[in-house]
């Protein structure tokens, strides 16, 4: 196992998984572009690009935790058109296509109708870096207003929101391969996806995912932090 400059781990499984996925995509769609976490880069001749995170949650994977995922998103014209989030160790496969709804293991999913903080579950990722982050100020007091707070890791947290088992996910640092697959799943499940600056891009470096009823509350917090 190796470490990247930010000390995040890279296992042989990450590299082999990315190689396998890339090979299958290239065989089926030879003109499409590729972008992957472990260095996968291929320019697009079709205007479409596949964005791959072979193992999202490598720290969990190498420690034997089931909270890791394989993420794949298909982007065209600046929009993610389809996405998959596969959590093999949990036996869960989430997927969505733009305009076609979102699913978990072939069953339709939707975000919850909860709109009040005191009955909502908040998910956070990257708590270890928030002490010196602008979001850290007032965070504990703000979190106390939620019914419960969880931190299972990026994809598991996002899929809890997509499937109606949590209401908000706050991700302070993310790459496009972390967000491409989950974004379309969340939105097709009826949820909201936006960056801290108010945009809605997988290249924004961060994101908030939430139910429609909590959107104003979440925008207020990240804008004022």
For 141-157, write each residue's pLDDT tens digit.
Answer: 999 999 999 999 889 99
* Rounded distance between C-alpha atoms, residue 45 and residue 31, angstroms: 5
Give burial (CB, 10 Å; 0-12/13-18/19+) of 75: buried
Share of the chain above pLDDT 90, in %: 77
* Tokens representing residue 10 in the block: 């890279």
pLDDT at position 160 over 50: yes
What is the rounded average pLDDT of the residues 163-178? Answer: 96
114 SS3 class: coil
> For residues 73 and 187, is the Cβ–Cβ distance under 8 A?
no
197 falls in which pLDDT band (50, 70, 90)?
very high
5 falls in which pLDDT band (50, 70, 90)?
very low
What phi, psi does 124 have (nearest 5°)? -130, 145
What phi, psi does 34 have (nearest 5°)? -135, 140
Query: So what's the pLDDT on residue 10?
Result: 58
């Amino acid at each position: 196992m190796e470490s990247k400059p930010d000390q995040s781990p890279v296992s042989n499984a990450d590299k082999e998984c990315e190689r396998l996925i890339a090979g299958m995509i290239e065989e089926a769609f030879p003109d499409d572009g590729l972008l992957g976490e472990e260095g996968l880069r291929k320019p697009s001749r079709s205007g479409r690009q596949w964005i791959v995170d072979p193992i999202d949650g490598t720290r969990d994977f190498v420690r034997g935790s089931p909270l890791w995922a394989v993420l794949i998103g298909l982007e065209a014209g600046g929009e993610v058109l389809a996405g998959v989030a596969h959590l093999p160790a949990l036996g869960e496969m989430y997927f969505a296509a733009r305009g076609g709804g979102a699913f978990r293991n072939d069953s339709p999913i939707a975000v919850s109708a909860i709109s009040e903080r005191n009955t909502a579950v908040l998910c956070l990722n990257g708590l270890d870096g928030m002490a010196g982050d602008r979001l850290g100020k007032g965070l504990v007091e703000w979190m106390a207003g939620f019914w419960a707070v969880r931190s299972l890791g990026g994809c598991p947290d996002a899929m809890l929101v997509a499937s109606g088992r949590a209401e908000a996910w706050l991700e302070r640092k993310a790459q496009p391969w972390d967000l491409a697959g989950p974004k379309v799943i969340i939105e097709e499940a009826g949820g909201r996806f936006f960056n801290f600056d108010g945009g809605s891009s997988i290249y924004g470096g961060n994101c908030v995912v939430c139910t429609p009823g909590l959107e104003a509350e979440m925008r207020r917090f990240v804008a004022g932090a």
